[in-house]
Structure 1
Amino acid sequence: MKRDLYCKIVQAVEEHDPWFQQRRNVAGELGLSFLQKVTTAFHMLAYNAPADSLDECLRLGESTIIESMRRFVRAVIEVFGDEYLRALNEEDIARLLAINERRGFPEMLGSIDCMHWRWKNYPTTWSGSLNDINVLHRSHLLDNLAAGEAPKVQYSINGHHYTMGYYLAYDIYLEWATFVKPIQSSVGKK
């Protein structure tokens, strides 16, 4: 995650929920900083770490870590939900189509799966936890596609007319018209 995005999220969460703000305790000593609390939540989300594994290295009690995570998730949903946790609108679709057109993928809405790309720093402990297919099963995108709902896009390829945008996907995904998969082995020169 880029530093400016991290700082934007941290600042928004701190402003939204006063619990994250650093305060003095009854003895007058400064308590936990908002960065400690927010970083704990980020760490749990990024590394799928249990709360009790973080208490010593972050110097927070397990109950504080759990409360940080609960409040962080709620704050992110309340602050950013209307903009980022919603279905695509016409403006979003137009922006995605323009970006992907410049990349050489006309009428593509996005790439669902990047599991076949090599990520040199991919932690081996993450394999099988929240990989792309598991994340996709938790998203509203798959529900909409299963119901036959996809953003409407009009285009033609080789004389065939299509009415829905497509997503690049890998072999493990279902055989749906909106998932375009790579050709594994060529049959001829084409």
Structure 2
Amino acid sequence: MTAALRMLAYRAPDDSIDEYVKIGKNTAIESLKKFCRGVVKIFKLEYLRTPNATDISRLLRGAENHGFLGMLGSLDCMHWQWDKCPTAYHGIYTGHVQKPTIILEAVASYYLWIWHAFFGMPGLHNDINVLDQSNSFDELRAGCAPPAHFIINRRQYDMGYYLTYGIYPKWATIVQNIRETNDRKKAHFARMQEACRKDVERVFGVL
């Protein structure tokens, strides 16, 4: 357990574990594999899945408390720095952060629950490229979303939506931020949307 946690939390090389817990490189790797398999086995049914009806109801209640009826979460991408990236891969994995990165796309709730994650795209890509490759959003691209029934301005809606920023496509299930405006209502919406969209940024901060 100690070897696995040190390798995951502190990015410790497998051959450095021997100095701390007195086990060899192969044993450290095997310990890490068993630890990861155990996490998946224990938490798969509760966390590593798409939301069910109970989850959606909880997500909608949380969103309503923050002023966004029908919102299922905040969508964004994070660049995860790849310290040990081979030199041959630097070109494709180096994007705007000027260092090799791997991209994590996630949808997260206010309670730091990541209910969608797509990890592995090279850092050269932008958020639209990642969204296009993400299999989990095939239905979203087709105009479908997890069922969510709510009423705004006496109009009923049957699909939930996600909060994002301006680079994302203009889909019915994506609510982008509003750029600078002199309209008081739009400016108020922009502030509220930006504050609520910070949920996914908080998740990335925790990770």
| Structure 1 length-normalised TM | 0.59
Q: Does the CA contact (< 8 Å) of 2:77 and 2:104 recur in 1?
A: no
Q: 2:52 aligns with which of 86, 89, 103?
A: 89
In structure 2, the partner of 1:61 is: 24
Q: 1:129 aligns with which of 71, 81, 102?
A: 102
In structure 2, the partner of 1:14 is: none
The root-mean-square deviation of aligned C-alpha atoms, in Å, is 3.5
Q: What is the CA–CA distance in structure 1 between the aligned matches of 2:136 and 2:82, rounded to whole Å?
A: 27
Question: Which stretches in structure 1 are left out of the alignment for 5+ residues?
Answer: 1-33, 116-122
> Over residues 147-179 of structure 1, what are the superposed CA-to-partner deviations in whole Å (9 max), with x where a residue is unaligned?
443111223434654221111112343332211
Q: What is the CA–CA distance in structure 2 between the aligned matches of 1:65 and 1:95, rounded to whole Å?
A: 40
Q: What is the CA–CA distance in structure 2 between the aligned matches of 1:145 and 1:58, rounded to whole Å?
A: 47
> Over residues 72-96 of structure 1, what are the superposed CA-to-partner deviations in whole Å (9 max), with x where a residue is unaligned?
2211111111111122111111111
Q: What is the CA–CA distance in structure 2 between the aligned matches of 1:54 and 1:179, rounded to whole Å?
A: 45
Q: What is the CA–CA distance in structure 2 between the aligned matches of 1:140 and 1:82, rounded to whole Å?
A: 20
1:31-180 aligned at under 5 Å gives the runs 34=1, 36-43=2-9, 49=11, 51-52=13-14, 54-55=16-17, 58-59=20-21, 60-113=23-76, 128-132=101-105, 136-138=117-119, 141-158=136-153, 160-180=155-175
Q: How many residues align?
A: 145
Q: 2:179 aligns with which of 179, 184, 188?
A: 184
Q: Does the CA contact (< 8 Å) of 1:97 and 1:107 recur in 2?
A: yes
Q: What is the CA–CA distance in structure 1 between the aligned matches of 2:105 and 2:73, rounded to whole Å?
A: 13
Q: What is the CA–CA distance in structure 1 between the aligned matches of 2:36 and 2:69, rounded to whole Å?
A: 36
Q: Does the CA contact (< 8 Å) of 1:41 and 1:68 recur in 2?
A: no
Q: Does the CA contact (< 8 Å) of 1:40 and 1:69 recur in 2?
A: no
Distance 1:56 1:182, change over 3 A: farther
Q: What is the CA–CA distance in structure 1 between the aligned matches of 2:166 and 2:35, rounded to whole Å?
A: 35
In structure 2, the partner of 1:19 is: none
Q: Which amino acid aligns with 2:53?
A: E
Q: Does the CA contact (< 8 Å) of 2:163 and 2:174 recur in 1?
A: yes
Q: Which amino acid aligns with 1:167?
A: Y
> Over residues 3-34 of structure 1, what are the superposed CA-to-partner deviations in whole Å (9 max), with x where a residue is unaligned?
xxxxxxxxxxxxxxxxxxxxxxxxxxxxxxx3
Q: Does the CA contact (< 8 Å) of 1:113 and 1:169 recur in 2?
A: yes
% identical equivalent positions: 38
Q: What is the CA–CA distance in structure 1 between the aligned matches of 2:152 and 2:184, rounded to whole Å?
A: 20
Q: What is the CA–CA distance in structure 1 between the aligned matches of 2:136 and 2:104, rounded to whole Å?
A: 16
